[in-house]
């Protein structure tokens, strides 16, 4: 069994979201709390910009929740930078316990699962879960300098410049986390670093399938099944893979990466990054859940666990996906 | 412990391969051809200008033309224009000497935030390094072949 069902059902009492200008232009942009006019957020480096973005999101979530800083037990957060510096550096501004997580782009659901478990066990009363990513800081770490004149292959994705934070509490009103399924690391031997969606699709398939089987539900029981950053091609792979296993999620499935941009320039497959699922979930979907337009959803963040070193040493790309079930 | 080779699921990889969106080859080739051609024409234009205008000859002439093109490539990189050209043209703007200038200047700009010594200077040749290493190595090899050929024939 990899599925947890929470008895006390932790409540998402508030969210805070921050993004760069490009993300503000899309469909999701209207729901984001703070859209910056420039992607440096007034800082000198992109790493500092990401830190500020995450800090702003956490601060906003904290303000909206009307819970005092000293009543928060822990911040659980992660990002894509080496040694998750955006998370740790933004958390040093708070007088709150800190847990750093890393599961690449699946960090958001991982932090949600951990936070919900702490609350459900009765150890903590309030927890903040957050993740962030920044296009320019990710680009310089994983790929090429920004000004290098090279083309992007059609399978590439665009790392989302954005951060999302939410406050989980054991009391209050709002959407509740009712269950979760922990994913396992799956590697089908994809080695193309531009094709991360193909590396992540099998993990999403596995975790969704496991959740259906272990909770004895079917796709029809959910209003939406939201994946993190599979992109257009990855979504197609996921639907095919699940269809092969006997689950048809054609009607329920949406992908945060596909949703976030008006694909015009060269985002190609859509958004990706640790901030993708947290930004879209904390803004757009949280809003819909609060208005009760959605009742029962699955959030599946997917992550490709590669580093620039592993891919240069000819390793294949393992993937991970965690699932969280949210009800309003 | 298993290594990477043990995980390969060939059915899946084949399926991914046949279904993944492909690069539009004809369009890319056409763009690379005309942009690359225009860059070379500009270079040739400067060559004529220097040859017939200033009366330069031989090594002096080609050196001067290279310097101008490298300067232009670096300037356009600094202004944030060259990456747009590169995005459009692909190989067409990488192969000429302006592309080489771009590959040196762009990491220098990017890593300036880590300081002038460990950032800018150290990371400057991250992309151009291999080109220099293999360029020098292959020129030595070709020189040796030429030398040996000269001795024999």
* Nearest Cα to Cα of residue A5 among A230, A134, A181: A181
Nearest CA in chain A to B128: A148
pLDDT tens column, A49-104: 999 999 999 999 999 999 999 999 999 999 999 999 999 999 999 999 999 999 99
Nearest CA in chain A to B108: A145
Q: How confident is the model at residue B70 (pLDDT cuts 50, 70, 90)?
A: very high
DSSP chain B: ---GGGG--HHHHHHHHHHSPPP-HHHHHHHHHHHHHHHHHHHHHHHHIIIIII---HHHHHHHHHHHHHHHHHHHHHTT-HHHHHHHHTHHHHSSHHHHHHHHHHHHHHGGGG-IIIIIIHHTTTTHHHHHHHHHHHHHHHHHHHHHHHHH-
What average pLDDT score do residues B70-77 get?
94
> What ipTM goes with this model?
0.86
Q: Are A315 and B22 an interchain contact pair (Cβ–Cβ within 8 Å)?
A: no
Out of 3.40.47.40, 3.40.120.10, 3.40.50.12780, 3.30.70.100, which CATH number does the structure's domain A3-169 have?
Answer: 3.40.47.40
Q: Are A59 and A16 in contact (CB under 8 A)?
A: yes
Element (H, E) at A137: helix A135-142
Count the residues in chain A.
328
Question: The domain at A176-327 falls in which architecture?
Answer: 3-Layer(aba) Sandwich (3.40)
pLDDT at residue A26 is higher than 90: no
How far off is chain B from A251, nearest CA to CA, in Å?
A: 21
How far is Cα B62 from Cα B94, in angstroms, rounded to an integer? 19
Considering CB atoms only, which of A148, A151, A315 is closest to B90? A151
Contact residues, chain B, for A155 at CB < 8 Å: 20-21
pLDDT at residue A28 is higher than 70: yes
Share of chain B above pLDDT 90, in %: 63
Tokens of A284: 């757009």
Mean pLDDT over all residues of chain B?
A: 90
3-state secondary structure of A58: helix
Considering CB atoms only, which of A45, A147, A151 is closest to B80? A147
How far off is chain B from A187, nearest CA to CA, in Å?
A: 6
Share of chain A above pLDDT 90, in %: 75
Q: Are B7 and A140 an interchain contact pair (Cβ–Cβ within 8 Å)?
A: no
Considering CB atoms only, which of B12, B80, B82 is closest to A188? B12
Q: How confident is the model at residue B95 (pLDDT cuts 50, 70, 90)?
A: confident
3-state secondary structure of A191: coil
Q: Are B13 and A146 an interchain contact pair (Cβ–Cβ within 8 Å)?
A: no
Every domain of chain A with CATH number 3.40.47.40 lies at: 3-169, 176-327
Q: Where are the domains of chain B?
A: 24-124
Tokens of B33: 């051809």
Q: How confident is the model at residue B94 (pLDDT cuts 50, 70, 90)?
A: confident
Q: Are A222 and A297 in contact (CB under 8 A)?
A: yes
Considering CB atoms only, which of A46, A150, A188 is closest to B13? A188
Share of chain B above pLDDT 70, in %: 100
What is the predicted pLDDT for the residue at A263? Answer: 66
pLDDT tens column, B26-64: 999 999 999 999 999 999 999 999 999 888 888 889 999
pLDDT at residue A206 is higher than 80: yes
How far off is chain A from B138, nearest CA to CA, in Å?
A: 24
pLDDT tens column, A117-133: 999 999 999 999 999 99
pLDDT at residue B133 is higher than 80: yes
Contact residues, chain A, for B90 at CB < 8 Å: 150-151
How far is Cα A28 from Cα A277, in angstroms, rounded to an integer? 12
């Amino acid at each position: 069994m990899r599925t947890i069902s929470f008895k006390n059902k932790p409540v998402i009492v508030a969210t805070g979201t921050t993004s760069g200008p490009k993300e503000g232009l899309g469909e999701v942009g209207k729901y984001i709390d703070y859209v910056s006019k420039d992607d440096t957020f007034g800082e000198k480096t992109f790493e500092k910009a990401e830190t500020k973005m995450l800090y702003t999101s956490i601060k906003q979530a904290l303000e909206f929740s009307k819970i005092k800083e000293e009543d928060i037990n822990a911040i659980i957060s992660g990002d894509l930078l080496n040694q998750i510096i955006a998370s740790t550096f933004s958390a040093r501004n708070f007088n709150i316990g800190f847990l750093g997580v890393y599961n690449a782009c699946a960090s958001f659901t991982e932090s949600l699962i951990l936070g919900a478990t702490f609350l459900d066990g009765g150890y903590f009363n309030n927890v903040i879960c957050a993740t962030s990513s920044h296009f320019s800081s990710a680009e310089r770490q994983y790929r090429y300098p920004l000004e290098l004149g090279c083309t992007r292959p059609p399978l590439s994705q665009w790392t989302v410049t954005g951060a999302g934070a939410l406050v989980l509490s054991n009391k209050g009103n709002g959407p509740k986390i009712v269950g979760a399924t922990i994913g396992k690391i799956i590697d089908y031997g994809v080695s193309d670093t531009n094709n991360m969606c193909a590396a992540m699709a099998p993990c999403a398939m596995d975790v969704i399938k496991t959740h259906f089987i272990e909770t004895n539900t079917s796709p029809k029981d959910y209003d939406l099944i939201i994946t993190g950053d599979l992109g257009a091609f990855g979504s197609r792979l996921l639907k095919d893979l699940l269809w092969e296993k006997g689950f048809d999620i054609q009607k329920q499935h949406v992908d945060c990466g596909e949703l976030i941009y008006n694909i015009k320039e060269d985002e190609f497959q859509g958004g990706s990054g640790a901030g993708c699922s947290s930004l879209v979930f904390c803004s757009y979907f949280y809003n819909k859940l609060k208005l009760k337009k959605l009742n029962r959803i699955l959030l599946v963040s997917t992550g490709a666990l590669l580093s620039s070193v592993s891919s240069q040493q000819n390793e294949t790309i393992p993937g991970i996906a965690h699932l969280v079930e949210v009800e309003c | 412990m298993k290594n990477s080779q043990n995980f390969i699921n060939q059915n899946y990889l084949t399926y991914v391969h046949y279904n993944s969106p492909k690069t539009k080859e004809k369009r890319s080739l056409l763009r690379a051809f005309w942009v690359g051609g225009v860059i070379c024409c500009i270079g040739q234009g400067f060559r004529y200008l220097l040859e017939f205008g200033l009366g330069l000859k031989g090594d002096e002439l080609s050196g001067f033309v290279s310097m101008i093109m490298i300067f232009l490539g670096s300037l356009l990189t600094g202004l944030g224009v060259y990456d747009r050209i590169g995005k459009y043209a692909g190989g067409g703007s990488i192969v000429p000497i302006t592309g080489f200038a771009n590959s040196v200047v762009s990491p220098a700009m990017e890593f300036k935030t880590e300081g002038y010594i460990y950032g800018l200077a150290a990371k400057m040749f991250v992309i151009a390094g291999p080109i220099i290493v293999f360029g020098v190595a292959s020129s030595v090899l070709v020189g040796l072949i030429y030398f040996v050929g000269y001795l024999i024939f």
